[in-house]
Structure 1
Amino acid sequence: MNKKFVVIVATSLVGLGLTGFYGLKGTAAETGTNDSKQQQSLVEEIDRNISLTTVQSKMLNAIDHYQSATGSFRTILTPIGVDETVDFEVYRGTSPWSHVKVTNNQNKEITETTFDGNTSMLINHNNKTYMQDKVSVQKQKVELDQNKPRSYKNDQGELVFVKRQDAAFSGIANDVLFPQDYAFWLTPSNYKIAGEEELLNRTSIVIEGEHDDPILAKKHQSSHFKMWIDKETGVLLKLVETNNNNEVTNSIEVLSIEFDKQQDFSTLSKTHAVPSDYKDVSRKLGNRENREEKKSEKEN
């Protein structure tokens, strides 16, 4: 998709002209007041731009602001008929770990994803199957160059978003815990900070905005959005999207959340073991790689 960005540079335009200062004292005093208001407005605009940048940066780097998180949230996506409750336990310390359970509130189907530091697993409780995949050390250690921009235009003029990798492989839980996708919604001119609110006993920064990407707006069947961002961590506590009739089309709402809870995450993988009667439907990547390696040896 093509998108234009406008960079606003705040510059002081306040100047005091002496003409008329002596002749019309009242006018001069009024002009001074207006200049003062102008200057204050510019200062507030600069502060606003700094605040907006800070909020977006926290969202893009939320995983840097907490070690672990437990809780749940509900997602309702009306255009595609989704209504799910997500329970999560995520640890982002020296040995990242995650357990995420998704419950379909319509048919009560349950799926779980786990990552124990070495193997990621998807468990489907409806058909009693599971898939597992070993994660390479190299894949876990891919890091983002912090000196490069998180969004840029390629040679075709298309906007490219650069996402950080999640070493805990938290999947859908990252809609809340690592809201990079929603941070990319924010452009220099499509949103504002509406204030602060207490939510779940935490201070949240409230953002109000309009979708300036027509493709996204059509896909989400919405024109406006409102976000509640945890001030301390950059985590998304709540999101509401509405259409031009002010009807809610999509929403995400955290039901409970706790950061850096004292818990031994190293033992949780044993707690969420796969039932013995579940079928392993993983692709036999190891066997395929062995066959390809033997074939290569014969050819050489």
Structure 2
Amino acid sequence: MMRTGILQATFAVSALSSIVFAASPARANDYYCDNDRAASQYPNCNTGSDAGWVLRTGQGGDANGDDRLGGPGTHFYGWSFYGLSGGNRFWLDVYLNNFDFTDTRAGYGASSQDVGYINQNTAPGGWSRIGTGTSYPSFRVQAWNDSGAGRTGADLIKIQTFSSFAAAQTDADESAAACATTFQVADPRVAAIQQKMLSAVDHYRDVQGSFRIAFSKIGQDERVDFTVSEQIASSSVRITKANGNVVERTSNAQSAVTRYLDTSTFRKAALAPVLRPVGARVIVNKTCEPVYVHRQDPAWGDAANEVTSPENYAFWLSSSNAAVVGNERLLGRAVTVVEGQHDAYLSRKLGATTFKMWVDDETGVLLKLVGTNEKGLTAYSIDVSDIRFNRGVDAKAFTVDEPAGWKNLSAE
């Protein structure tokens, strides 16, 4: 019964997507900017950073053979665009295909707005479409580590400019005519689960809970407590690290404030408008590279999105020979259990060969994840200890007031 419901939901979303896409305006222009590239190669861009970013060459997997790598606590890397034409809105794509790009909460912003966040450590290899923003003849895209585990990577990025935010996220000109790999899930049961995970934010009004996330290869071990309300587009997230350091983030759709309790510092930012993507969520570009189309969470759930909007883990299903292996109950909820094998890129990066995930049938929320290496030992895990849906929220929990007397990092 639950599988049938998921499939029906998938077909309904596909039908809606077709309607929206048909009315979408055409893309205006594509602009690329790579780290440390000559202006003659990418004439509309320049790059720069503050201290702490190391230029590396010959790593393998990078666009044009080089990248910039920062460490935890490193501030901003910037790609500056100028002389743009043909539109004043853009979609941001970032190229993540390096084993050392392991920042679990990499932030991206432009034009004084946060555009989106992504876990670089668990992102599949290829292009990740982060979200939307506002472009001008000259503007700057920035990346930073928002106190996540791991190291932030900076490589090639792309913006597609459009005339308005009504433009569809999937561009018809993006797809390749014929590629050896399509990255589409063949098993309809797995495809339905993937779609449910990718659209999880549509299937609950609010959610509260706690989970532990641990990826041993990068030393990540955190407890995340969260309240997320999609209904009023707000969130409150508290991340407690194994060393006792705490990061708190609250948002209310227009802005967000991140508080670093161990250093009495904070960062406040305006939030870019959020759009729902339409069309396929995994596409192949003209050079046969995968493009993973992320959806900005209207509530900006930050670290909570590891379970409340588990997009990276859903994208794993496109290249893992995944299969449904059972149905269980977990935390009092009906779940579907999926097993798969990591592709070569993620296997090396995460130190795991196989994974097993428990997905909530009703919402697509991830309730448990375990990755094991070839010896059968656990390489990473996510364990939800408490989950409550649609109980209502107190809007006072989502205040974005600046803490008095603390240093404002966003002013630097």
2:398 partner amino acid = S
Shift of 1:117: 2.5
Aligned to 1:185: 316
Query: Out of 267, 276, 295, which is 2:396 matched to?
Result: 267
Shift of 1:72: 0.5
Which ranges of structure 1 fall in alignment gaps of 5 or more residues? 10-48, 285-300
Shift of 1:186: 0.5
Aligned to 1:117: 253
- Secondary structure of the structure 2 residue equivalent to 1:184: helix
Matches within 5 A, 1:224-235: 224-235=354-365
Deviations 1:187-239 (A, max 9, x none): 3761111111111111110001111x211110000000000000110000000
1:82 aligns with 2:220: yes
Aligned to 1:199: 330
- Secondary structure of the structure 1 residue equivalent to 2:201: helix
Aligned to 1:18: none
Distance 1:207 1:252 in 2: 14
Deviations 1:272-295 (A, max 9, x none): 8554232222137xxxxxxxxxxx
Aligned to 2:301: 170
1:280 partner amino acid = N
Aligned to 1:133: 269
- Secondary structure of the structure 2 residue equivalent to 1:215: helix
Deviations 1:109-145 (A, max 9, x none): 000111023211110000000010122xxx3242312
Higher share in helix: 1
The answer on whether the counterparts of 2:206 and 2:392 sit within 8 Å (CA) in structure 1 is no
Classify 1:50/1:101 alpha carbon distance in 2 versus 1 (closer, same or farther; 3 Å). Answer: same
Matches within 5 A, 1:1-300: 1=125, 4-5=181-182, 49-93=187-231, 95-105=232-242, 107-135=243-271, 139-145=272-278, 148-187=279-318, 190-211=321-342, 213-264=343-394, 266-270=395-399, 275-283=403-411
Moved over 6 A (4+): 6-9
- Mean Cα deviation higher: 272-281 or 76-85: 272-281
- Mean Cα deviation higher: 187-196 or 120-129: 187-196
Classify 1:98/1:217 alpha carbon distance in 2 versus 1 (closer, same or farther; 3 Å). Answer: same
Deviations 1:55-80 (A, max 9, x none): 11100100010010000000011000
Corresponding pairs, count: 235
Distance 2:371 2:402 in 1: 37
The answer on whether the counterparts of 1:239 and 1:252 sit within 8 Å (CA) in structure 2 is yes
The answer on whether the counterparts of 1:5 and 1:188 sit within 8 Å (CA) in structure 2 is no
Classify 1:262/1:158 alpha carbon distance in 2 versus 1 (closer, same or farther; 3 Å). Answer: same
TM-score by length of 1: 0.74
TM-score by length of 2: 0.54
Distance 2:312 2:183 in 1: 20
Classify 1:189/1:103 alpha carbon distance in 2 versus 1 (closer, same or farther; 3 Å). Answer: closer
Distance 2:261 2:353 in 1: 37
Distance 1:240 1:67 in 2: 27
Distance 1:189 1:215 in 2: 11
The answer on whether the counterparts of 2:194 and 2:317 sit within 8 Å (CA) in structure 1 is yes
Q: Considering only aligned residues, what root-mean-square deviation do their CA atoms show, in Å?
A: 2.0
Shift of 1:155: 1.2
Distance 2:403 2:355 in 1: 42
2:181 partner amino acid = K
Q: Which has the higher contact order (CA 8 A, sep 6+)?
A: 1
The answer on whether the counterparts of 2:185 and 2:318 sit within 8 Å (CA) in structure 1 is no
Shift of 1:51: 2.0
Shift of 1:267: 2.0
Distance 2:256 2:327 in 1: 38
Q: Which has the larger radius of gyration?
A: 1
Distance 1:7 1:278 in 2: 48
Deviations 1:153-184 (A, max 9, x none): 11111111111111111111111000111011
- Secondary structure of the structure 2 residue equivalent to 1:186: helix
The answer on whether the counterparts of 1:73 and 1:253 sit within 8 Å (CA) in structure 2 is yes
Deviations 1:18-47 (A, max 9, x none): xxxxxxxxxxxxxxxxxxxxxxxxxxxxxx
